[in-house]
Structure 1
Amino acid sequence: MGDATGTSGTDRAVKAKHRAMWALGDYAAVADELIPSLGAALVEACGIGAGTRVLDVAAGTGNAAIPAALAGADVVASDLTPELLDAGRLVAEGLGAELEWREADAEALPFADGTFDTVMSCVGVMFAPRHQAGADEMLRVCRPGGTIGLVNWTPESFVGRMFAMMKPYAPPPPPGAQPPPLWGDEEHVRALLGERVASVDARRAGVRVDRFTTPEELRDYFKENYGPTIAVYRNIADSPERVAALNRELAELARGHARFTGGADGMAMEWEYLLLTARRS
């Protein structure tokens, strides 16, 4: 944990708030019901197989770590929020996946230099406040010649736009924090990794989300299940006017990103992400 590295009281408070935010709602449901294929896509892109030593950074409930373990890899799933790790353990047990779950700060990983063959993160490290610190730590614990693998929501995606929309309603970010969707901008990630990587492969792709029949249903699902959205609504709870405004804006955002199928699903969306892999120099 970062606290062991002599972090300040302010930093510990930031981490505590971050941990508590992700414990809100039901992220296990979000990962399983909306983006179940995302982690497997990252595992495949990284070429993970039997015997690969893998670290999943900001693993959440194991959306990528569990597919890696099922592929035969030796996996550590690390996350700041123990509640997410506990939920992931239950999922892994149900699937017969064996892996290690470790509470850890993405900006201060408790592993030695060059420990892992593959260091990956699936819509996880993007939420650590200091992007360079997160990138530096992923690179540090990856062996020379190893693989860095990332899936992150793009700024133009539904999730990227949602974070931009929620920002005026959210508490002020901690000093030095950068917007999470910047991790979905290829040039930003290339700058973070710099000359410490080679053979960078980056492409945009999309995950189909067709669980919802109306924009309002999607909005209410996020209000109930997704920690960052819950935290924003709690921040404005004493202002009915702002709550109503955010309700409208989120529904309109969903409507703008949706295709209305006319079928039983009613509404389908394509959430864009950046898939980037690179070789550690």
Structure 2
Amino acid sequence: MSTALSFDEIKTKQHKVWSSGDYGRIAWVTVPLAETLVEAADLRPGARVLDVATGTGHVAIAAARRFCDVTGIDYVPDLVDAARRRAAAEDLDIDFLVADAENLPFEDDSFDYVFSAIGVMFTADHQRAADELVRVCRPGGRIAIASWTPAGFVGQLLKTVSRHAPPPAGALPPTRWGDEEAVRSLLAGHAVSTTTTTVTQRFPSEEHFADFFLTHYGPTHAAAARLDEVAQRALREDMITLATASNVSARDTLRSEWEYLVAVTDKP
């Protein structure tokens, strides 16, 4: 039996995963989630906003378009650089920083809204990340989180990857954040409203999806790099099978509905 790693050791491994591939290309698929999340939170123009694990800045940009004072953080410098370029292209004034979701460099009660879309779910220490979201939100402020569900397409994809390349011993399942009871537990003491919805994803084919994710998506790219050629082919075939089972297109393409959970809570 493998010895469980500490959260700091797991975080180091996770950082390497998210620094691999090219998440900037994968981030395209989460653009619609940003708009859904800020609407679910009923974002007030002029508010001070923090986007945690911003990636390439979707939620931060959506908030800035609503005339908010926005900060976005991520612990992968290349993603922060991409977010800055995107904001500059729209002449949006957003403060993007390289920082850790489990150790936010802000004082208590600093923000009116704290968001994370497909972000904090991939932290190592879930409770520490949840506590940080609450800590930096002001009393009366709002926290809103979007996470892939365990039963949804990405949840099943992550399970598929884990069968071929198991995660480090002691690593928590990211889709825990996409489970209603679990996210309520993480935000204990705060009333949480949840909504489960889907985002439509389209690819030229199931094979294209598999190859695109194996090339660009950190978890699948890093997993494949750990495997020999035969095992890589087996992983690819399982990804194609998963995509085929999810396909609802009547045409010769892939159209799949990817389920995620939106959780919103107000800090007392």
TM-score bucket of the superposed structures, by smaller chain: over 0.9
Q: Distance in 2 between matches of 1:188 and 1:10?
A: 21
Residue from 148, 152, 162 that aligns with 1:157: 152
Runs of 5+ unmatched residues, structure 2: none
Q: Distance in 1 between matches of 2:257 and 2:25?
A: 19
- Look up the SS of the partner of 1:183 in the other structure: helix
Counterparts of 1:106-117 in structure 2 under 5 Å?
106-117=101-112
Residue from 74, 84, 87 that aligns with 1:92: 87
Q: Distance in 1 between matches of 2:57 and 2:167?
A: 29
Corresponding residue of 1:126: 121
- 2:58 is equivalent to residue 71 of structure 1: no
- 2:256 is equivalent to residue 269 of structure 1: yes
Corresponding residue of 1:6: none
Corresponding residue of 1:221: 212
Corresponding residue of 1:182: 176
- Look up the SS of the partner of 2:187 in the other structure: helix
- Look up the SS of the partner of 1:37 in the other structure: helix
Q: Is the 8 A contact 1:54 1:75 kept in 2?
A: yes
Q: Distance in 2 between matches of 1:204 and 1:15?
A: 28
Q: Is the 8 A contact 1:169 1:235 kept in 2?
A: no
Corresponding residue of 2:187: 193
Q: Is the 8 A contact 2:54 2:60 kept in 1?
A: yes
Residue from 114, 134, 140 that aligns with 1:139: 134
Q: Distance in 2 between matches of 1:170 and 1:134?
A: 25
Q: Distance in 1 between matches of 2:40 and 2:242?
A: 30
Residue from 199, 202, 227 that aligns with 1:207: 199
**Alpha-carbon displacement from aligned partner over 1:220-241 (angstroms, at most 9, x marks no partner):** 01011111111100111xx222
- 2:22 is equivalent to residue 31 of structure 1: no
The alignment's TM-score, normalised by the length of structure 2, stands at 0.93
The alignment's TM-score, normalised by the length of structure 1, stands at 0.89
Q: Is the 8 A contact 2:152 2:258 kept in 1?
A: yes
- Look up the SS of the partner of 2:248 in the other structure: strand
User: Which residue identity is paired with 2:159?
Assistant: A
- 2:14 is equivalent to residue 18 of structure 1: yes
1:174: how far off? 5.2
**Alpha-carbon displacement from aligned partner over 1:172-204 (angstroms, at most 9, x marks no partner):** 4253x3100111101100011011x23x22110
- Look up the SS of the partner of 2:31 in the other structure: coil
User: Which residue identity is paired with 1:202?
Assistant: T
Q: Is the 8 A contact 1:35 1:209 kept in 2?
A: no
1:144: how far off? 1.0
1:131: how far off? 1.1
Corresponding residue of 1:247: 236
What count of residue pairs does the alignment treat as equivalent? 264
- 2:97 is equivalent to residue 102 of structure 1: yes
Runs of 5+ unmatched residues, structure 1: 1-8
Corresponding residue of 2:266: 279
Q: Distance in 1 between matches of 2:19 and 2:144?
A: 25
**Alpha-carbon displacement from aligned partner over 1:234-254 (angstroms, at most 9, x marks no partner):** 111xx2221121111111011
1:104: how far off? 1.2
Backbone CA RMSD of aligned residues: 1.7
Q: Distance in 2 between matches of 1:174 and 1:106?
A: 21
The percent of aligned pairs where both chains have the same amino acid is 41
Q: Is the 8 A contact 1:92 1:98 kept in 2?
A: yes
